[in-house]
Chain A
Amino acid sequence: MAARKSTQKSNVSAEDLTKFYREMLLIRRFEEKAGQLYGMGLIGGFCHLYIGQEAVVVGLEAACEEGDKRVTSYRDHGHMLACGMDPDGVMAELTGREGGYSKGKGGSMHMFSKEKHFYGGHGIVGAQVPLGAGLAFADKYQGNGRVTFTYFGDGAANQGQVYETYNMAQLWELPVVFVIENNQYAMGTSVQRSTKSPAIWKRGEAYGIAGEEVDGMNVLAVKEAGDRAVAHCRAGKGPYILEVKTYRYRGHSMSDPAKYRTREEVQKMREERDPIEQVREMLLTGGHATEEDLKAIDKEIKDIVNKSADFAKASPEPALEELWTDIYA
């Protein structure tokens, strides 16, 4: 059973590093804008931001091939941007408009893109875990060599259906990577207050599933672990677990006062472990980019995000007839 600690790989190209920087920055700026639009009342209901966790999806998407699938929970904006979905369509779904990915009928928590093999966006904690294994089941049945990334949090890791799924995924050797995004808080409950398990990924050992812990603030470590997981799945060895240690800077949702942790804890993480700052530092010290280069990227990202916000505001509300469509195929 594989149980190795990720080590940081240094032979990454400047091009990849720049790509990671750009993709992570897009998620961060997009989420900041979403928070802003929420504050203005343009986004309603529940809105869960991904700020702080950007390295997880960006690193793992770098380990994907075209046709691989992904499914996640309701904290899904980052996953959608990382797999190449259009920021305009995502933002317009947040504002509940016709131009959104679900024509305004899904909202922040329920978004999909068949084209990008993104299977949601699921609002029930843990439900995406058997769904992801089911996608992998379909791939194995069809023999197409694809892998499914099934993301869930440390909170969902305590749902019974996760273990029902582990059991069947290993029994049937399904090509699925279970990604536990351990951001240390299930809404307001810290991991320490919800389990005595010191390592959540090790629960897979009971089912014979290989896995490892990953530094989720380091995009290179995430990518490297993702490569190992994908290789395991594509070799027909069944599922693989990555417990990615990450951190969300914002509250659980927009209406979370976050009294369960100190401001200093958040500040320390931002200052010392920020995934974007780490890559920025590597780019500058490695001489791969100048301040000016990075400023240009910042500007480019800001423009993309502003454009998405403009689109999301200008797109009309769905026609009333949409109430009655898409109930049956």
Chain B
Amino acid sequence: MATEILMPALSPTMEEGTLAKWLVKEGDTVSSGDVLAEIETDKATMEFEAVDEGIVGKILIAEGTEGVKVNTPIAILVEEGESVEDAVASAPAASTEAPAAGAPAAPTAPAAAAAAPAAPEVDESPDYPEGTEMVTQTVREAIRDAMAEEMRADGTVFLMGEEVAEYQGAYKVSQGLLDEFGSKRVIDTPITEHGFAGIATGAAFGGLRPIVEFMTFNFAMQAIDHIINSAAKTLYMSGGQMGAPMVFRGPNGAAARVAAQHSQDYAAWYMQIPGLKVVMPYSAADAKGLMKTAIRDNNPVIFLENEILYGKSFEVPKMDDFTVPFGKAKIWRKGSDVTIVSFGIGMTYALQAADKLAEEGISAEVIDLRTLRPMDLPTVIKSVMKTNRLVTVEEGWPQGSVGSYIASEVMQQAFDYLDAPVITCTGKDVPMPYAANLEKHALITTDEVVAACKKVTYR
């Protein structure tokens, strides 16, 4: 039985090549692994090896021929005793089994950009029943309690990170956890973010539910390959067989006077990644309810905390099991003239600005996104349909900001409702300076938010 030798594809992009040189001639006996020819691809000159054994019956393409298409028969291999004529007669027709290249199915984008949208469906149910007893707690205590409650409920949940155990947390978020859960479940790591993020991700593949504390998210850049390539993408790459149910948490964004390398807001970075969920709470109640949801979630969750907010107190519902769902924004203040959308510490400026605007007779509706992925755009759009004006507030940088994404979506989904261009208030486009006056100026300010709201309301 004769075998046709076909022009091979020797690189991911090769469609044709030059048959530079034959290293065998008709009548030669070849075996698997022998070099038959040299072929020039778009990248390099490659040696082309025989896969089958036999005798070179006929060379179909002469050396030096350029532009030989992939899968063109270039020679015929015959068995001993077989004549070329018989071989040619019995050779299978030129292979047609290669799939039509270059005909990828057009990806169908998820239904977007409806023409004139009806008011979107929005879940406005309260986070907890009316009349629930409330306790005053700091954000720090709320996060600790959330972790402790989930660790009590599920033995596969554990906390690892730098100084989380014996030191009780660099920012005291894990205070008391070592005493309650012991060193098996509250684990001090060496200073080795890349390594422990990878180990935690592997532990999640192996059936555990790790909580990884980064002392701050600035150091998570050392670990970003595991967060994105290992944790976020594995479920997809494995066709749904295995994923990483885990939480990466820690303080994010500027603290105070710690300068460029310790003062970056990563909200927009992580928000971009399919496979991750991204949470950035403002209040203690949300920090608690969202952390419990994050630990139970079967996906990798980025939980962006804030050092300045850790010590801030809020009312937290006193419930046995208080959780806040992902993808549900919270309207902190109803209003009619302008919508202010923010999240995390940005809410501080948004709420202060709303107070000031109220004094001037401007009614601002203030929305806390709470989670950035999934993002509750329907609540934003419904509000914009009412106020017709939108200002976004965040501490991160302007280019590719969370606000840019919201502005783009609002433009595509509610363009006709806008009476003014959306203004995205962000941190300044500079690395964070150390000097006190410069740092203050580099961050977003309440006055800037007020000015933006006045601009979009033409006041």
Contacts and interface: CB of A to CB of B under 8 A. Distances in A.
Interface of A: 32, 35-36, 38-42, 44-46, 69, 71, 100-106, 110-114, 119-124, 127, 129-139, 141-142, 160-161, 164-165, 167-168, 171, 249, 254-255, 257-259, 263, 270, 313, 317, 320, 323-329
Contacts of A119: 202, 205-206, 242
Contact of B238 (A45, A106, A313): A106
A313 B98 CA distance: 9
Contact of B242 (A32, A36, A112, A259): A112
B241 A113 contact: yes
Interface in B191-240: 192, 194-208, 225-226, 229-230, 234-240
B46 A41 contact: no
B239 A138 contact: no
**What size tier do the contact residues of chain B reach?**
35 or more
Contacts of B99: 41-42, 317
A32 to B, nearest CB: 6
Contacts of A106: 237-239
Interface of B: 6, 8-12, 14, 32-33, 35, 41, 43-47, 51, 70-71, 95, 97-99, 101, 105, 107-108, 110, 158, 184, 189-190, 192, 194-208, 225-226, 229-230, 234-243, 245, 274-275, 277, 298-299
Given A134-B198, A326-B240, A122 B97 contact: no
Given A134-B202, A137-B199, A138-B202, A120 B226 contact: no
B197 to A, nearest CB: 8
15 contacts: A35-B51, A41-B70, A101-B239, A110-B237, A114-B241, A119-B202, A119-B242, A130-B195, A134-B201, A134-B203, A138-B205, A165-B195, A168-B189, A168-B190, A254-B10
A106 B201 CA distance: 18
| B70, B108, B208, B275: most-surrounded residue (chain A CB, <10 A) | B208
Given A127-B230, A329-B298, A138 B10 contact: no
Contact of A39 (B9, B205, B207, B242): B9
Given A123-B229, A141-B184, A326-B239, A133 B202 contact: yes
Contacts of B41: 255
A148 to B, nearest CB: 8
A114 B242 contact: yes
Q: Closest 6 A-B residue pairs measured CB to CB? A: A134-B202, A130-B198, A164-B195, A138-B206, A39-B8, A255-B11
A137 B274 contact: no
B3 to A, nearest CB: 11
Contacts of A259: 44
Contacts of B35: 263
Nearest to A46: B12
Given A40-B97, A110-B237, A131 B202 contact: yes
